[in-house]
Amino acid sequence: MVPFYTRFRELAFQEMRNATIQGWEDLPDGEYGFLELYCDDDQCDCRRVLIQVIAKSDPTKPWATINYGWESEAFYYQRLRDSELAKACTRPTLDPLNPQSKYAPALLRLFGEVVQDKAYVHRLQRHYELFKRQGQQAERKGVKTSLRKRRHK
């Protein structure tokens, strides 16, 4: 997974979703940003995003890393052939492969509220398409964009 800002820096920060929190018992008051990461394998059409939640007060490390897929359960089942995994892809979940802070459950809940905004979900889809399209164009020009492909070269 590669940060969206590595390919579209200005757009990524201009359209990054932020949330300001006050008065939550399980999350410090402050501003939180949702950084988007997308799969750079041009052969993959996973239609999902990895969100790293950062705090404005400490932007050096993610406080939570969240998986989110916007397609239907049937879409993911067709690829995974596992109904539980397919269901998990259609809702925000904490990523088990990345470290999570003690605030991760609250940030997951916050992101769950944020993705109720259909305009935001459409933005994630548009960013995914832009990211994939640019990777495919680079691939056609002979530029290797996938870390996996570079390692096995």
In a domain, 95, yes or no: yes
* pLDDT score recorded for residue 35: 97
For residue 153, being part of any structural domain is answered with no
Q: Is residue 152 part of a domain?
A: no
Predicted local distance difference test score (pLDDT) of residue 141: 63
Residue range(s) defining the domain that contains residue 132: 2-146
Q: Which residues of the chain have pLDDT under 50?
A: 145-153
Residue 36 is predicted with a pLDDT of 98
Work out the angle at residue 4's Cα, subtended by the Cα atoms of residues 97 and 30, and round it to the nearest 5 degrees.
75
Question: Which residues make beta-bridge pairs with 36?
Answer: 51
Q: Which two tokens stand for residue 106?
A: 């609250």
The token pair at 147 is: 């870390």
The DSSP output letter for 71 is: S
Global pTM?
A: 0.87
Q: Which of 136, 118, 125, 138 is nearest to 49 (CA)?
A: 125
Give a yes or no: residue 130 inside a domain. Answer: yes
Q: Are 64 and 96 in contact (CB under 8 A)?
A: no
List beta partners, residue 93: 67
What is the predicted pLDDT for the residue at 14?
A: 97
For residue 91, is it within any domain? yes
| Dihedral over alpha carbons 131, 136, 141, 142 (to 10 degrees) | 100
Say how many domains are in the chain.
Answer: 1
Q: Which amino acid is at 70?
A: W
Identify the pLDDT of residue 37: 98
Q: So what's the pLDDT on residue 136?
A: 67
User: Is 106 a member of any domain?
Assistant: yes
Q: Is residue 74 part of a domain?
A: yes
Q: What is the pLDDT of residue 151?
A: 41
| Residue 75: partners with Cβ closer than 8 Å, 6 or more residues away | 47, 86
Residue 96: DSSP 8-state: T
In a domain, 151, yes or no: no
